[in-house]
Structures are given as structure tokens and as C-alpha cells.
């Protein structure tokens, strides 16, 4: 929202399907007006953990071409996927700007390096802003990113397998408590419905567990909270024990 507003645009939230946090192409189409400039997608999603289906991505790409819109696709969790497969709108249209990075896939958050691809004329304009805002990523970060890309991907596979194990633990514990929750297919977040996000987050904090209120991610997130399972298995077990006390 903040970035859109800084660009003097008006962000329009897209309602998601409750049962699986699906982004329906027809919902997006119903929100498009003559003032619409772009469609922003995020798959795998932060905060829901949802992964968009190929048919939906393709339909949205076709819609963007039909309406002459740009898709801005945040794909930073591209490799952290469990049962599904990642698809990018860039596979189906050239009207796409793809944003990605190394912080999630390779656990390189401190090195602050990412990349963007898109139509030449847009990248040329983007470069003008980037040149005076950032100049370039530090050389050590570039070297680390190159090593990560060229090296064995076994560490990534192992990390994703461990995230899946942690996800299953958290999901099963929340489900057994009777907390309404979709099973995330990617990223490392869970976004359960808790009826009253304010009291839940405050009570969780009293037990030493920090969760993010869903409304921090927009009006559609109201009365949800975001859990992260990017921590140890044992800490998740302890956190779930504490959550059980307040539920």
C-alpha cells in the first residue's frame, strides 16, 4: 500500500476465497476500471502461505494483456513450496515485472540483494530511480548471490523439507485446538482466523508469543493473525503449548 501511495496511486485490495485464500481472476476483472494501471500478485504469499494455481496465473496474465495492464509479481518465496508448483505470470505474458531475491531461498536476509525483470522500456525507467537510490548492491552480496546460484541446491531442498515438517506441526496443533486455519502450500507463514485479532495478539504476547494482527496486511486480513514457523521445531512446540492456554 505504501509504495503505491508514494507513487500517487490508489491501492485496491482483492478479496480472497476464505477456504484456500485463492485469488480468482474474475474477482480481479470485476475491480478493473479505466484508471487501473497494474495488478500486484504475491505467490507464494506472505501472509497466507497460499500458492496460486497455474490456470489462475494464466487467466490473470491474459486479462492483463487484454486490458493492457502490467502485472507486478512478488516471487521472493518461489522455492519455498511444498505440495504445489510455482508458476510465474512471466511464463504467459510479457506484460509482467518479476521481483525476486536471495533472502528467503538462500537465507541471505542480511546481504540485501534482489533482482527485477520486465519489459525493457520499464526497466530503463526503473534504473533511473535505482541509480540514485541504491547505486548497486555491495560487491560482497553479489559474490554471495552468485555462489548461491552456482552451488549445490541441496541445502535449499533440506531447508524446505524442514519448513514442511514445522508447518505440519503448527497446522496440526492449531487444528486440534479448534482454530480455523488453511494449510499453507508455500512460504513459512500460517494465517488462521481467530475471531478477535486484537485480544488474541495481546493474550499471546502475555504468554511470550508474538503474532502479527491480520489487519496489518490490509482490511481483508481482519480477525486473522500471522504465525511464522521460521524458527526451530522445539520452539514451535513450546509456542503452541502457550497458545493452547489462551484459546
Question: Could you report the per-residue pLDDT of 122-153, keeping only the tens digit for each?
Answer: 999 999 999 998 888 999 999 999 999 999 99
Q: What is the CATH number of domain 154-246?
A: 3.90.1150.10
List of residues 6+ apart from 92 with CB closer than 8 A? 57, 58, 61, 62
The reply to whether CATH 3.30.70.260 applies to domain 2-150 is: no
What is the SS3 assignment for 103-157? CCCCCCHHHCCEEEECCHHHHHHHHHHHHHHCCCCCHHHHHHHHHHHHCCCHHHH
Instruction: Give the pLDDT score at 100.
Output: 98
Domain with CATH 3.90.1150.10 in the chain: 154-246
In the beta sheet, which residues pair with residue 228? 189
In this prediction, residues 199-208 reach a mean pLDDT of 98
Query: Using CA atoms in the order 229, 231, 237, 241, what is the torsion angle rounded to 10 degrees?
Result: -80
Would you say residue 57 has pLDDT above 90?
yes
In this prediction, residues 50-59 reach a mean pLDDT of 98
Would you say residue 183 has pLDDT above 90?
yes
Instruction: Give the pLDDT score at 135.
Output: 86
Gap between the Cα atoms of 90 and 119, Å rounded: 10
Sheet holding 225-228, edge to edge: 189-190, 225-228, 212-213
In this prediction, residues 190-213 reach a mean pLDDT of 98
Domain with CATH 3.40.640.10 in the chain: 2-150
Please report which confidence band the pLDDT of residue 26 belongs to, taking 50, 70 and 90 as the band edges. very high
In this prediction, residues 3-13 reach a mean pLDDT of 94
What is the SS3 assignment for 187-233? CCEECCECCCHHHHHHHHHHCCCCCEEHHHHCHHHCCEEEEECCCCH
Instruction: Give the pLDDT score at 242.
Output: 98
Please report which confidence band the pLDDT of residue 8 belongs to, taking 50, 70 and 90 as the band edges. very high
Please report which confidence band the pLDDT of residue 76 belongs to, taking 50, 70 and 90 as the band edges. very high
Instruction: Give the pLDDT score at 133.
Output: 87
First to last CA, the chain: 32
- Look-up of cell digits 521481483: 99
In this prediction, residues 186-195 reach a mean pLDDT of 98
Would you say residue 1 has pLDDT above 90?
no
Determine if the pTM surpasses 0.85.
yes
In this prediction, residues 25-47 reach a mean pLDDT of 98
Please report which confidence band the pLDDT of residue 162 belongs to, taking 50, 70 and 90 as the band edges. very high
Q: Which of 245 and 136 is assigned the larger pLDDT?
A: 245
Instruction: Give the pLDDT score at 120.
Output: 97
Question: What whole-number percentage of the chain has pLDDT above 90?
Answer: 94
Amino acid at each position: 500500500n505504501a509504495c503505491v501511495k508514494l507513487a500517487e496511486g490508489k491501492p485496491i485490495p482483492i478479496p480472497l476465497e476464505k477456504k484456500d485464500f485463492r485469488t480468482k481472476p474474475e474477482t480481479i476483472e470485476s475491480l478493473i476500471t479505466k484508471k487501473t494501471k497494474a495488478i500486484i500478485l504475491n505467490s507464494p504469499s506472505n501472509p497466507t502461505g497460499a500458492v496460486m494455481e497455474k490456470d489462475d496465473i494464466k487467466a490473470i496474465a491474459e486479462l492483463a494483456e487484454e486490458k493492457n495492464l502490467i502485472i507486478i509479481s512478488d516471487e521472493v518465496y518461489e522455492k519455498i513450496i511444498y505440495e504445489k508448483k510455482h508458476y510465474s505470470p512471466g511464463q504467459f505474458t510479457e506484460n509482467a515485472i518479476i521481483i525476486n531475491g536471495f533472502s528467503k531461498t538462500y537465507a541471505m536476509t542480511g546481504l540485501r540483494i534482489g533482482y527485477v525483470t520486465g519489459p525493457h522500456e520499464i526497466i530503463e525507467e526503473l534504473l533511473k530511480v535505482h541509480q540514485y537510490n541504491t547505486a548497486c548492491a555491495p560487491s560482497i552480496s553479489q559474490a554471495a548471490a552468485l555462489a548461491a546460484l552456482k552451488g549445490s541446491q541441496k541445502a535449499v531442498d533440506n531447508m524446505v523439507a524442514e519448513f514442511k515438517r514445522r508447518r505440519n506441526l503448527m497446522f496440526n496443533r492449531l487444528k486440534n485446538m479448534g482454530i480455523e486455519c488453511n494449510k499453507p502450500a508455500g512460504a513459512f507463514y500460517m494465517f488462521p482466523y481467530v475471531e478477535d485479532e486484537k485480544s488474541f495478539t495481546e493474550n499471546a504476547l502475555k504468554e511470550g508469543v508474538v503474532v502479527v494482527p491480520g489487519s496489518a496486511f490490509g482490511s481483508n486480513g481482519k480477525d486473522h493473525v500471522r504465525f511464522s514457523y521460521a524458527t526451530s521445531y522445539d520452539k514451535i512446540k513450546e509456542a503452541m503449548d502457550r497458545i493452547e492456554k489462551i484459546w
